[in-house]
Amino acid sequence: MAIIALVSAKGSPGVTTSALACALTWHRRLVLAECDPAGGSILAGYLGGQLDGPRGLGELAVGELRDGNLETAFWSQLVDLDAPRRERLLLPGLVDPAQGGSVTPLWQRFADYFDALDRGTPGYDVLVDCGRLHVNGPPWPVLRAASVVLLVTRAHLPDLSGTRVVVTAIERDFAEHRVPPGTLRLLLVGDGHGRAEISRALKLPVIARLPQDPRTAGVLALGGTVRAGRPLMRAAGALEVPIGALLERRRARLAWPVQQGVPDAV
């Protein structure tokens, strides 16, 4: 599947919570990368800060700027969320938002490397938490490289108003950089307006809706035991199916002209 990116408009609609819930229920090998320029929260929250020494995106960026050693340093900066299987790995985000200046010039480098992970041995999908779009130094190259971009929003009018602006900004940028159509989808969080109503208003398909589940969201934010049977975890686990179906349709559509030119077998 390569890169699946999550991004939001404003406020705190649950991008990191949604990304972490998906990562903990994903069926394929996965790297969850916290690429929010405002800073990561999983290391201090869900993992309770229980790691020896600094690790993550900031350390990787410093090493890349100094030595250009991304390929060799990348795996040492990951945290195994399902140790020791190394099937669900986390690249923790920035500890200090002031580090954002060192990361901004490297977004394209990271995007290219994430894209290559799907073709490695073994291959990994990359789920990227891009945070809010309207911050300094947003990871535009990562969004452009993504196979699917999920715009996370709550389903109430104030949130949808801000989301409309971001939809316009992303679609304009994607058109300028020739990102394949159909990359952007809405991911709704919690109660509010209906899926069909929101899709019509924003002129963008809704891929899924994650339920309001404060108990599970609290565990994902602050640590504790994640229960697979909770509503949020069940819905997050099911999200892999429509994402996979979307990618299959896109692959088939892109391959169609080539297939049309192949002569019939004798």
The predicted-structure confidence for 37-62, as pLDDT tens digits, reads as follows: 989 999 999 998 777 678 899 999 99
**What is residue 153's predicted lDDT score, i.e. its pLDDT?**
95
User: Are the CB atoms for 237 and 25 separated by under 8 Å?
Assistant: yes
The predicted-structure confidence for 83-141, as pLDDT tens digits, reads as follows: 888 999 999 999 887 788 889 999 999 999 999 998 888 999 999 999 999 888 899 99
Q: What is the pTM of this model?
A: 0.92
Domain coverage including residue 88: 3-148+212-255
Count of domains forming the chain: 1
Report yes or no on 196 lying in a domain.
no
Report yes or no on 13 lying in a domain.
yes
The CATH number covering residue 37 comes to 3.40.50
The predicted-structure confidence for 133-180, as pLDDT tens digits, reads as follows: 988 889 999 999 999 999 999 999 999 999 999 999 999 999 999 998
Report yes or no on 59 lying in a domain.
yes
Residue 160, amino acid? L
Report yes or no on 164 lying in a domain.
no
Report yes or no on 111 lying in a domain.
yes
Report yes or no on 156 lying in a domain.
no
DSSP strands (E only) in the chain: 3-8, 30-34, 79-80, 88-91, 125-132, 148-155, 184-192, 206-210
